[in-house]
A and B are shown apart, each in its own frame.
Chain A
Amino acid sequence: MRTDPRIIAFDTSAAHCAAAVLVGDAIVAERRESMARGQAERLMPFLEEVLAEAGFGWRDLDALAVGVGPGNFTGIRIAVSAARGLALALGVPAFGVSTLEAQAEGIARPCLSLVDARRGMSYAQVLGAQDGPPVIVDDTAGLHPDLPRAPIADPATLTPTMARIAAARLATGAALARPAPLYVRAADAAPPRDPAPVILP
């Protein structure tokens, strides 16, 4: 493996396309574009522009990092699906990095990381020697008063950190699961209301 691995990180978990390219310890390109919709059409040309700015093509990459949310369900699927396709075609690993983890990078552990979940709710996770499960809560005021809190960051600003986290994981050489969206919230689905009729012989 190269001593200065090249990694592109990207995120579409909210109203943006964001990406950063890491070479060794240095971020050599970073871009963010705000957009309420159209990430699916914009993402790949956007990534190619960022790569070009770094002076690379797809095949120069050693790994990918992708923001897995939590956030907009469609948004995180857009980035995760693209990352899985790229990883398969390039034969390089793709690392899923959550906003909860990325914004807490560099904060002393254990700590509490929070992400706005809208509708008055928050995603919350205790990060430590062993991370707790991410949960959704409606009141964060009284949550783990003993723990320091990671500053809440706009996920669009976190791609450089996501790339660094991926670099650290790449260095361990451990086989890791494919990136998957971090939904936390269950799918909105209700069982049918009309009961099935009783069947008689």
Chain B
Amino acid sequence: MTKTLTVLGLESSCDDTAAAVVRHREGEAPEILSSVVAGQTALHADFGGVVPEIAARAHTEKLDLCVEEALSEAGLGLDELDAIAVTAGPGLIGGVLAGVMLAKGLAAGAGLPLIGVNHLAGHALTPRLTDEATFPYLMLLVSGGHCQFLLVKGTDDFTRLGGTIDDAPGEAFDKTAKLLALPQPGGPSVEAEARNGDPRRFALPRPLLDRPGCDMSFSGLKTALLRERDKLLERDGGLHVQDRADLCASFQAAVSDVLAEKSRRALAEYMTLSPVRPIFAVAGGVSANMTIRSALDTVSAEFGATFLAPPLKLCTDNAAMIAWGGIEAFRAGRRDDMTLQARPRWPLDQSAQPMLGSGKKGAKA
């Protein structure tokens, strides 16, 4: 099938409302015709984190506007599309539901096929959208809600090598910002502050480095940071700007060290597959952090692997990756019907032992 495919993607699983149109002719580089992202940072600013009900409300009244904008930027009507792809999970269920129902309405009204895409698969397949990466490649998915190493062997073939057993690093960045009176989202504000700081001043823990494997833990790091902060508050009655910068730099160094060392182990395992063109790719909002990016790049070079970090706007949540995931699924023959379910939890590697969450709701990761 050498047909050209043009797919509309919808994303609403966290706090970004997004729509995009991607076109792909087999054998050629995919083309992002439009990618609209409407963030909700201001809506959640007062609450120190994403409030699910506020997010769901915003998605419900914004997503169709994003779709119109994405279509108009692409210069296309719905009748010129081949399918509608939508994030069907995992994520905050209110937002996922709003996206899935809008997609169903669009697909039914326009008579187009509907494809539910796993949000994590969207991130994990992004190196194929941006750099035409060939299987198998190693992926570190690191964001506000997720942190895992994946061996990507096919469009629907993911093996998890390890992941966080508690918080995701993005969450730790946000909490750090909150503890240090820095603005949300924490990633960029902690990184900016860290530039003026001494990464060796505070000895923060590097959890699980003493254990084999690729699993990680970040919740202890946050507690250690809180303890150091409280010591300073007690001593000075407040937090000096320089101390804050040093805390940020020390925190960022700890995250970076853990990710780099665990990447080393994941790369060693990946290289046993003898990939012809070894690739280590990152995705997720935390991969926007330049200190972390350069640490991962260095580790990748140790193994002779090409390091792929998509442009920032394709690292964070977006709908182009969902449209692309839809194109990959469409080519593999997958279609969903109008009973498509929105899923709060949907692990990519269905065979792996659950690491987080269990019981009735199923594994989170």
Contacts and interface: CB of A to CB of B under 8 A. Distances in A.
Contacts of A197: 179-181, 229, 233, 238-239
Contacts of B68: 88
Contacts of B107: 85, 89
A190 interface: yes
Interface residues of A, number: 42
A194 B104 CA distance: 42
A190 B240 CA distance: 28
Interface string B214-244: 0000000000000001000100111111001
Given A78-B101, A84-B64, A192 B57 contact: no
A56 interface: no
Which secondary structure characterizes the binding site on chain A?
A: helix
Contact of A201 (B78, B179, B240): B240
A73 B60 CA distance: 11
B110 interface: yes
A82 B102 contact: yes
A81 B239 contact: no
Contacts of A175: none
Interface string B250-281: 00000000000000000000000000000000
Interface stretch (A38-46, A116-124, A155-163): A38-46
Contacts of B239: 197-200
B105 A199 contact: no
Q: Most B CB atoms within 10 A — which of A81, A191, A199? A: A81
Q: Most A CB atoms within 10 A — which of B56, B102, B107, B111? A: B102
B53 A191 contact: no
A181 B60 contact: yes
Given A80-B60, A89-B109, A189-B51, A200 B240 contact: yes
A140 interface: no
A82 B46 contact: no
Interface residues of B, number: 51
A188 interface: yes
B344 to A, nearest CB: 12
A190 B48 CA distance: 9
Contacts of B64: 84-85, 88, 178
Interface string B320-344: 0000000000000000001111100
Given A45-B339, A77-B60, A77-B97, 7 more contacts: A77-B56, A85-B64, A85-B107, A89-B110, A189-B53, A192-B47, A192-B49
23 contacts: A58-B108, A58-B109, A73-B94, A77-B57, A78-B97, A79-B101, A81-B63, A81-B99, A82-B104, A84-B102, A85-B64, A85-B105, A85-B107, A88-B109, A89-B109, A178-B64, A189-B51, A192-B48, A197-B180, A197-B233, A198-B181, A199-B244, A200-B239
Interface of A: 40-45, 48, 58-59, 73-74, 77-90, 178, 180-181, 183, 187-192, 194, 196-201
